[in-house]
Amino acid sequence: MARRLLVAALAVAMTVISVMTSAAAETGSWQHVPVPAQVRPQAGLNEAVAFGPDRAWAVGADAVGREAPGFPLALRWDGTAWQRQALPGAGRQGELLSIAAASPTALWAVGRDSAGGARLLRSDGTAWSESRPPRGVVLTKVVAGGGETWLIGSRDGAQALLRWDGRGWRDLPVPPGSVYGLHILAADDVWAAGATDSGAAVSHWDGQAWQQTIVYGFPRSAVGSVLAVSPTQVWAGGTAGFVGGPVGRPIPPLLVRFDGQAWNRVTVPTDFGSISSLAPDTSGALAWVAVARSQKWGPPGSYPPFVPGPDFLAWNGETFAEYSEPAVAGEGDSSVLRLAPVPGTETVWSVGRADGPEGTFAPRILRFG
C-alpha cells in the first residue's frame, strides 16, 4: 500500500513538473533591449555574435540620412547593457555589414566606407583595430566556425571566397552562382547557401571541391542562411521566388531540409516574408527561424488582404511555435532580423532595424530567454 502511494505521489509530481515546464515555455517571449543613448537617430544593426551571457557584439551604421552614408557602429553587451565601442578611423563614414568570431578574443568585422571601399576590422575582445583587407575585394560578410574564418565578397564583379590561414587571406574556389551565407564545421566541411540561374542552391566543400545541389528550382528563389546539424540533417532558408504577379505582392519564405538523401521544402506557418536567419540550440540542432516582413493571408474579402505573421518560429523537432516581436513605442516592425544564440544557454539575440516615423528606420535589439 505504501509503495502504491509513493508511486502515485511521484506520478502527480512529474505531471505538475511537466505542466509547469510546458507553461514556462509557452509564456516565454521576445523582449526589447534598448541601444545606448549615445547612438544617434537613424541607426541600424546588421549582425551580432555572442559568446556568453556577458559577451556579445553587434555591428551596423549610425546617423544614416537620405543623403548621408552614416558612420560605422559597434556595440558590446556586458551582461547588463549595450555599450558603444570606439572604432579606428574616427570620423570616417561608412557601415559595418557583418561580424564573426573564432573566439571571444578573435573577432572580425567587415564593412565599407562611403566610397564603397572595403573595411576589415579585428578585435581582441576589448578594442578594435584596422586590418588590411584583401586587395581588390569588396567584402560583404565574415563567417567563423570550426576554428576557421572565411570572407565572402566580390572581385571585379565576380564572387570571391577567402580563408584566413593565420597569416593572411587566401583565395578559395567558388561554387557556381552566388554565395550569401556559410556554415563552417571544419576546414573540409563547409556549407554554402546561395542561388544560381536555376534556383536556390546549397553547396558543400570537402576541402578539395564544391558539390552543389539546386534545393528549390523555382525562378528567382534563393537561400541566404544554412545550418548543418549532421550529414543527414541540413537546413537552409531564404525566399521562394516569384514569376510575374501583381505589383507589390510579397514573396513566400523558403525553408528546405536535407535528410541525407534529398532536399525537401518544409511548411512554415506564414505565407509571405524572407527567412533571414537560422539559429541552433545548445546541441547544434535547429532551434529558431527568423522571418523578416512576415505576413499571412487575411480573412476572405478583407482589405488589405494580408495580416501580420510570426516574426520568429521555434522548432521543437516536430512543429513550429509562433512568436511575434514586442511593440516598441514610436517604431514599427523590424525589416531586418539576424539571430545570435548565446552558447550554452537558451538565450538568443536578434538585431536589425525597424521602421521609424516618416519613412526612417531605427536600431532594433531583441532577446529571448
120-172, pLDDT tens digit by residue?
999 999 999 999 999 999 999 999 999 999 999 999 999 999 999 999 999 99
Task: State the Cα–Cα distance between residues 108 and 353, nearest whole angstrom.
Answer: 21
Residue 152 · residue 143 · CB < 8 Å: yes
Cell numbers representing residue 130 in the block? 584596422
Q: Tell me which residue of 319, 154, 179 sits closest to 236, measured CA to CA.
A: 179
Beginning with the edge strand found earlier in the chain, give each strand of the sheet holding 128-131 in spatial order.
94-103, 106-113, 118-123, 128-131
- Which phi and psi (to 5°) does residue 267 adopt? -75, 130
DSSP string, 234-272: EEEEEE----S-STTPPPPEEEEEE-SS-EEE---S-SE
Query: Would you state the pLDDT for residue 8?
Result: 40
What's the pTM value of the predicted model, to 2 decimals?
0.90
CB-based burial label for 35 (10 Å; 0-12, 13-18, 19+):
buried
Task: State the Cα–Cα distance between residues 93 and 286, nearest whole angstrom.
Answer: 37
Whole-number average pLDDT of the chain: 90
Residue 115 · residue 105 · CB < 8 Å: no
Alpha helices in the chain (DSSP H): 2-27
Q: Give CA torsion, residues 148, 100, 154, 121, to 10 deg.
A: -110
Task: Say which amino acid occupies 211.
Answer: Q
Please give the DSSP secondary-structure letter assigned to residue 357. G
Query: Would you state the pLDDT for residue 11?
Result: 40
Query: For the segment 273-319, what is each residue's pLDDT rounded down to a tens digit?
Result: 999 999 999 999 999 999 999 999 999 988 888 999 999 999 999 99
**CA-based R_g, the chain, Å:** 22
Query: Would you state the pLDDT for residue 12?
Result: 36
CA dist list (Å): 25 to 96, 226, 230, 314, 353: 35, 26, 26, 10, 27
Q: Tell me which residue of 307, 314, 308 sits closest to 290, measured CA to CA.
A: 314
Residues of the chain with pLDDT under 50: 1-26
Residue 183 · residue 201 · CB < 8 Å: no
Q: Tell me which residue of 359, 313, 354, 363 sits closest to 334, measured CA to CA.
A: 354
What b/e sequence results for 154-175 when a residue is b if at least 16 CB atoms lie within 10 Å of its CB, and e otherwise? eeeeebbbbbbeeeebeeeebb
Task: Say which amino acid occupies 161.
Answer: L
Query: Would you state the pLDDT for residue 66?
Result: 62
Query: Would you state the pLDDT for residue 141?
Result: 98
